[in-house]
Protein backbone atom coordinates (compact mmCIF):
# COMPACT_ATOMS: atom_id res chain seq x y z
CA UNK A 1 0.00 0.00 0.00
CA UNK A 2 1.22 3.51 -0.86
CA UNK A 3 2.29 5.14 2.40
CA UNK A 4 0.81 8.44 1.17
CA UNK A 5 -2.64 6.88 1.39
CA UNK A 6 -2.13 6.14 5.07
CA UNK A 7 -0.68 9.61 5.70
CA UNK A 8 -3.67 11.21 3.98
CA UNK A 9 -6.08 9.08 6.01
CA UNK A 10 -4.39 10.16 9.25
CA UNK A 11 -4.41 13.83 8.25
CA UNK A 12 -8.16 13.71 7.64
CA UNK A 13 -8.66 12.04 11.01
CA UNK A 14 -6.60 14.78 12.68
CA UNK A 15 -8.32 17.72 10.92
CA UNK A 16 -11.78 16.10 10.55
CA UNK A 17 -11.90 17.65 7.10
CA UNK A 18 -10.89 16.73 3.53
CA UNK A 19 -10.39 20.43 2.81
CA UNK A 20 -8.08 21.13 5.73
CA UNK A 21 -6.21 17.87 5.09
CA UNK A 22 -5.54 19.02 1.54
CA UNK A 23 -4.22 22.35 2.83
CA UNK A 24 -1.90 20.68 5.36
CA UNK A 25 -0.61 18.19 2.80
CA UNK A 26 -0.21 20.93 0.17
CA UNK A 27 -2.23 19.02 -2.43
CA UNK A 28 -5.61 19.59 -4.03
CA UNK A 29 -8.85 18.41 -2.46
CA UNK A 30 -9.34 16.27 -5.57
CA UNK A 31 -6.05 14.49 -4.80
CA UNK A 32 -7.11 13.84 -1.21
CA UNK A 33 -10.46 12.45 -2.34
CA UNK A 34 -8.76 10.25 -4.95
CA UNK A 35 -6.34 8.85 -2.38
CA UNK A 36 -9.11 7.95 0.04
CA UNK A 37 -11.17 6.44 -2.74
CA UNK A 38 -8.18 4.31 -3.74
CA UNK A 39 -7.65 3.26 -0.13
CA UNK A 40 -11.31 2.34 0.31
CA UNK A 41 -11.22 0.29 -2.90
CA UNK A 42 -8.19 -1.65 -1.67
CA UNK A 43 -9.78 -2.32 1.71
CA UNK A 44 -13.24 -2.92 0.29
CA UNK A 45 -14.78 -0.74 2.97
CA UNK A 46 -15.92 2.86 3.35
CA UNK A 47 -13.70 4.73 5.83
CA UNK A 48 -15.35 8.15 6.18
CA UNK A 49 -18.79 9.68 6.32
CA UNK A 50 -18.68 13.19 4.82
CA UNK A 51 -21.21 15.83 5.87
CA UNK A 52 -21.45 19.60 6.30
CA UNK A 53 -19.55 19.36 9.60
CA UNK A 54 -16.58 17.62 7.98
CA UNK A 55 -15.60 13.95 7.97
CA UNK A 56 -16.14 11.28 10.61
CA UNK A 57 -14.88 7.72 10.71
CA UNK A 58 -17.04 4.72 9.89
CA UNK A 59 -16.63 1.57 12.01
CA UNK A 60 -14.22 0.27 9.36
CA UNK A 61 -12.34 3.56 9.56
CA UNK A 62 -12.05 3.17 13.33
CA UNK A 63 -10.55 -0.28 12.79
CA UNK A 64 -8.07 0.96 10.18
CA UNK A 65 -7.03 3.78 12.54
CA UNK A 66 -5.48 1.13 14.80
CA UNK A 67 -3.01 0.14 12.08
CA UNK A 68 -2.36 3.25 9.97
CA UNK A 69 0.05 4.95 12.43
CA UNK A 70 2.11 1.77 12.80
CA UNK A 71 2.29 1.43 9.02
CA UNK A 72 3.60 4.98 8.63
CA UNK A 73 6.07 4.59 11.52
CA UNK A 74 7.38 1.30 10.10
CA UNK A 75 7.88 2.91 6.70
CA UNK A 76 9.75 5.86 8.22
CA UNK A 77 12.01 3.55 10.19
CA UNK A 78 12.73 1.46 7.09
CA UNK A 79 13.40 4.58 5.01
CA UNK A 80 15.85 5.95 7.56
CA UNK A 81 17.61 2.59 7.80
CA UNK A 82 17.97 2.01 4.06
CA UNK A 83 18.07 5.38 2.31
CA UNK A 84 21.45 7.04 1.73
CA UNK A 85 21.30 10.62 3.03
CA UNK A 86 22.23 13.48 0.75
CA UNK A 87 25.99 14.06 0.77
CA UNK A 88 26.80 10.46 1.77
CA UNK A 89 28.00 7.70 -0.52
CA UNK A 90 26.85 4.76 1.60
CA UNK A 91 25.21 3.73 4.86
CA UNK A 92 26.78 1.51 7.50
CA UNK A 93 24.49 0.03 10.17
CA UNK A 94 26.29 -1.05 13.33
CA UNK A 95 25.14 -2.36 16.68
CA UNK A 96 26.89 -3.06 19.93
CA UNK A 97 26.26 -4.39 23.39
CA UNK A 98 25.56 -1.69 25.95
CA UNK A 99 28.75 -2.18 27.96
CA UNK A 100 30.89 -1.77 24.84
CA UNK A 101 29.67 1.64 23.78
CA UNK A 102 31.53 3.68 26.33
CA UNK A 103 34.26 4.45 25.67
CA UNK A 104 35.40 2.04 22.95
CA UNK A 105 32.60 2.23 20.38
CA UNK A 106 32.07 5.88 21.17
CA UNK A 107 35.71 6.42 20.16
CA UNK A 108 35.06 4.39 17.01
CA UNK A 109 32.24 6.77 16.04
CA UNK A 110 34.66 9.68 16.30
CA UNK A 111 37.22 7.72 14.24
CA UNK A 112 34.64 7.07 11.52
CA UNK A 113 33.53 10.70 11.38
CA UNK A 114 37.15 11.76 10.90
CA UNK A 115 38.27 8.97 8.57
CA UNK A 116 35.14 8.47 6.44
CA UNK A 117 32.85 11.50 6.80
CA UNK A 118 30.98 10.50 3.65
CA UNK A 119 29.67 7.29 5.28
CA UNK A 120 26.30 7.67 7.01
CA UNK A 121 26.05 5.67 10.22
CA UNK A 122 23.04 3.90 11.76
CA UNK A 123 23.77 2.97 15.36
CA UNK A 124 21.91 0.60 17.67
CA UNK A 125 22.51 -0.62 21.21
CA UNK A 126 21.01 -3.85 22.49
CA UNK A 127 21.44 -7.39 23.82
CA UNK A 128 23.68 -9.81 21.93
CA UNK A 129 20.91 -12.17 20.81
CA UNK A 130 18.86 -9.40 19.21
CA UNK A 131 21.92 -7.90 17.51
CA UNK A 132 22.96 -11.29 16.13
CA UNK A 133 19.50 -11.81 14.63
CA UNK A 134 19.58 -8.38 13.00
CA UNK A 135 22.97 -9.12 11.43
CA UNK A 136 21.73 -12.46 10.09
CA UNK A 137 18.65 -10.76 8.67
CA UNK A 138 20.73 -8.03 7.03
CA UNK A 139 19.26 -5.21 9.16
CA UNK A 140 22.70 -4.56 10.68
CA UNK A 141 25.94 -4.75 8.71
CA UNK A 142 28.04 -5.44 11.78
CA UNK A 143 27.55 -5.98 15.52
CA UNK A 144 30.18 -5.88 18.25
CA UNK A 145 29.71 -8.20 21.21
CA UNK A 146 31.35 -10.47 23.74
CA UNK A 147 29.80 -13.89 23.09
CA UNK A 148 28.41 -14.17 19.56
CA UNK A 149 26.49 -17.09 18.12
CA UNK A 150 27.39 -18.21 14.62
CA UNK A 151 24.32 -18.08 12.37
CA UNK A 152 23.71 -18.51 8.65
CA UNK A 153 24.13 -15.20 6.85
CA UNK A 154 26.93 -13.95 9.10
CA UNK A 155 30.56 -14.49 9.99
CA UNK A 156 32.47 -13.81 13.20
CA UNK A 157 35.84 -12.06 13.54
CA UNK A 158 37.93 -11.65 16.68
CA UNK A 159 38.63 -7.97 17.29
CA UNK A 160 40.63 -7.99 20.51
CA UNK A 161 41.11 -9.76 23.81
CA UNK A 162 40.70 -7.60 26.86
CA UNK A 163 42.26 -8.41 30.19
CA UNK A 164 39.97 -8.26 33.21
CA UNK A 165 41.75 -7.49 36.48
CA UNK A 166 40.58 -7.33 40.07
CA UNK A 167 40.95 -3.83 41.51
CA UNK A 168 39.96 -2.20 44.76
CA UNK A 169 39.80 1.24 46.28
CA UNK A 170 41.45 -0.31 49.37
CA UNK A 171 45.23 -0.69 48.88
CA UNK A 172 45.33 -3.48 51.50
CA UNK A 173 42.61 -5.59 49.82
CA UNK A 174 43.22 -9.35 49.66
CA UNK A 175 41.99 -11.64 46.90
CA UNK A 176 40.32 -14.01 49.36
CA UNK A 177 37.91 -11.36 50.58
CA UNK A 178 38.15 -8.01 48.78
CA UNK A 179 36.09 -5.37 50.59
CA UNK A 180 32.82 -4.22 49.04
CA UNK A 181 33.07 -6.72 46.20
CA UNK A 182 30.83 -5.89 43.24
CA UNK A 183 30.17 -8.73 40.81
CA UNK A 184 30.28 -7.33 37.27
CA UNK A 185 28.48 -9.52 34.75
CA UNK A 186 31.01 -10.10 31.99
CA UNK A 187 29.02 -12.98 30.51
CA UNK A 188 28.89 -16.79 30.84
CA UNK A 189 32.59 -17.44 30.13
CA UNK A 190 33.61 -15.04 32.88
CA UNK A 191 31.10 -16.59 35.26
CA UNK A 192 32.58 -20.05 34.57
CA UNK A 193 36.21 -19.04 35.10
CA UNK A 194 35.32 -16.85 38.05
CA UNK A 195 33.61 -19.81 39.70
CA UNK A 196 36.63 -22.07 39.06
CA UNK A 197 39.04 -19.49 40.45
CA UNK A 198 36.90 -18.76 43.49
CA UNK A 199 35.34 -22.11 44.47
CA UNK A 200 34.29 -20.61 47.79
CA UNK A 201 32.77 -17.84 45.74
CA UNK A 202 32.32 -14.40 47.13
CA UNK A 203 28.64 -13.75 47.60
CA UNK A 204 28.40 -10.06 46.76
CA UNK A 205 25.49 -7.95 47.78
CA UNK A 206 25.74 -6.03 44.52
CA UNK A 207 25.47 -7.59 41.06
CA UNK A 208 25.83 -5.13 38.14
CA UNK A 209 25.30 -5.87 34.46
CA UNK A 210 26.94 -2.69 33.15
CA UNK A 211 30.66 -2.30 33.83
CA UNK A 212 30.91 1.53 33.56
CA UNK A 213 28.12 1.83 36.13
CA UNK A 214 29.91 -0.56 38.50
CA UNK A 215 33.22 1.26 38.06
CA UNK A 216 31.70 4.66 38.77
CA UNK A 217 29.98 3.18 41.81
CA UNK A 218 33.10 1.79 43.46
CA UNK A 219 35.06 4.97 42.69
CA UNK A 220 32.37 6.91 44.53
CA UNK A 221 31.40 4.50 47.31
CA UNK A 222 34.50 2.32 47.58
CA UNK A 223 34.78 -1.38 46.83
CA UNK A 224 36.31 -3.98 44.55
CA UNK A 225 35.52 -5.65 41.24
CA UNK A 226 36.78 -7.00 37.93
CA UNK A 227 37.21 -4.44 35.15
CA UNK A 228 38.98 -4.03 31.83
CA UNK A 229 42.63 -3.28 32.49
CA UNK A 230 42.64 -0.49 29.89
CA UNK A 231 39.62 1.12 31.57
CA UNK A 232 41.27 1.32 34.99
CA UNK A 233 44.84 2.25 34.01
CA UNK A 234 44.35 5.96 34.66
CA UNK A 235 42.72 5.25 38.02
CA UNK A 236 45.60 2.95 38.99
CA UNK A 237 48.14 5.59 38.01
CA UNK A 238 46.29 8.21 40.05
CA UNK A 239 46.06 5.96 43.11
CA UNK A 240 42.26 5.88 43.09
CA UNK A 241 42.34 2.13 42.47
CA UNK A 242 44.82 -0.63 43.32
CA UNK A 243 45.44 -4.05 41.80
CA UNK A 244 44.59 -6.81 44.25
CA UNK A 245 47.81 -8.85 44.64
CA UNK A 246 47.64 -12.51 43.64
CA UNK A 247 44.17 -12.23 42.10
CA UNK A 248 43.73 -14.11 38.81
CA UNK A 249 43.08 -12.14 35.65
CA UNK A 250 40.77 -13.26 32.87
CA UNK A 251 40.90 -12.73 29.13
CA UNK A 252 37.69 -11.44 27.63
CA UNK A 253 37.46 -11.52 23.82
CA UNK A 254 35.40 -9.10 21.77
CA UNK A 255 34.03 -10.10 18.37
CA UNK A 256 32.56 -8.49 15.30
CA UNK A 257 29.61 -10.33 13.76
CA UNK A 258 29.45 -9.35 10.08
CA UNK A 259 26.54 -9.72 7.69
CA UNK A 260 27.21 -11.66 4.49
CA UNK A 261 24.82 -9.26 2.75
CA UNK A 262 26.89 -6.18 3.62
CA UNK A 263 29.38 -4.31 1.45
CA UNK A 264 32.75 -5.91 2.17
CA UNK A 265 34.57 -2.61 1.71
CA UNK A 266 32.40 -0.99 4.39
CA UNK A 267 32.86 -3.97 6.73
CA UNK A 268 36.62 -3.78 6.23
CA UNK A 269 36.64 -0.06 6.98
CA UNK A 270 34.58 -0.54 10.15
CA UNK A 271 36.83 -3.33 11.42
CA UNK A 272 39.98 -1.32 10.63
CA UNK A 273 38.55 1.48 12.74
CA UNK A 274 37.55 -0.83 15.59
CA UNK A 275 41.03 -2.33 15.72
CA UNK A 276 42.69 1.07 15.49
CA UNK A 277 40.67 2.37 18.41
CA UNK A 278 41.29 -0.84 20.37
CA UNK A 279 45.04 -0.51 19.79
CA UNK A 280 45.02 3.12 20.95
CA UNK A 281 42.96 2.14 24.00
CA UNK A 282 45.41 -0.65 24.90
CA UNK A 283 48.47 1.55 24.52
CA UNK A 284 46.89 4.36 26.55
pLDDT in tens, 13-70: 999 999 999 998 999 999 999 999 999 999 999 999 988 888 999 999 999 998 898 8
For residues 184 and 223, state if they share a domain.
yes
User: If pLDDT is split at 50, 70 and 90, which confidence band does 281 have?
Assistant: low
- Degrees (nearest 5) of the Cα angle 26, 28, 29? 120
What is the C-alpha R_g of the chain?
Answer: 27
User: What is the chain's mean pLDDT, rounded?
Assistant: 87
Look up residue 85 and give its DSSP letter.
Answer: P
Whole-number pLDDT of residue 272: 94
Structural domain of residue 11, as residue ranges? 3-80
For residues 268 and 140, state if they share a domain.
yes
CB count in 10 Å sphere of residue 137: 13
Helix (H, G, I), strand (E, B) or coil at 261: coil
Whole-number pLDDT of residue 284: 44
How far is 159 from 156, CA to CA, in rounded Å?
9
For residues 150 and 103, state if they share a domain.
yes
For 164-220, the pLDDT digits (tens) are 999 999 999 988 888 899 999 887 788 888 888 887 666 677 899 888 889 999 999
Helix axes 3-15, 18-25, angle to 10 degrees: 120
Output the CA torsion sign for 218, 219, 225, 231.
Answer: positive
Whole-number pLDDT of residue 118: 93
- Total number of domains constituting the chain: 3
Residue 263 has pLDDT above 80, yes or no: yes
CATH, residue 165:
3.40.190.10
- Degrees (nearest 5) of the Cα angle 229, 177, 213? 45
For 88-120, the pLDDT digits (tens) are 888 898 999 877 777 778 889 999 999 999 999
Amino acid sequence: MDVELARTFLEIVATRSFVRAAEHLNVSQTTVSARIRSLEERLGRSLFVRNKNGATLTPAGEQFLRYAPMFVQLWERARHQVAVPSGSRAVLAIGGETSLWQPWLQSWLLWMRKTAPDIALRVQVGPAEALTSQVADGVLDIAVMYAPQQRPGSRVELLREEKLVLVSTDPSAQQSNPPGYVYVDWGPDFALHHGLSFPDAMNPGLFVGHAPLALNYILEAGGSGYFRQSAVMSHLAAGRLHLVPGAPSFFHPIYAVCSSQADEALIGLAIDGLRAVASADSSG
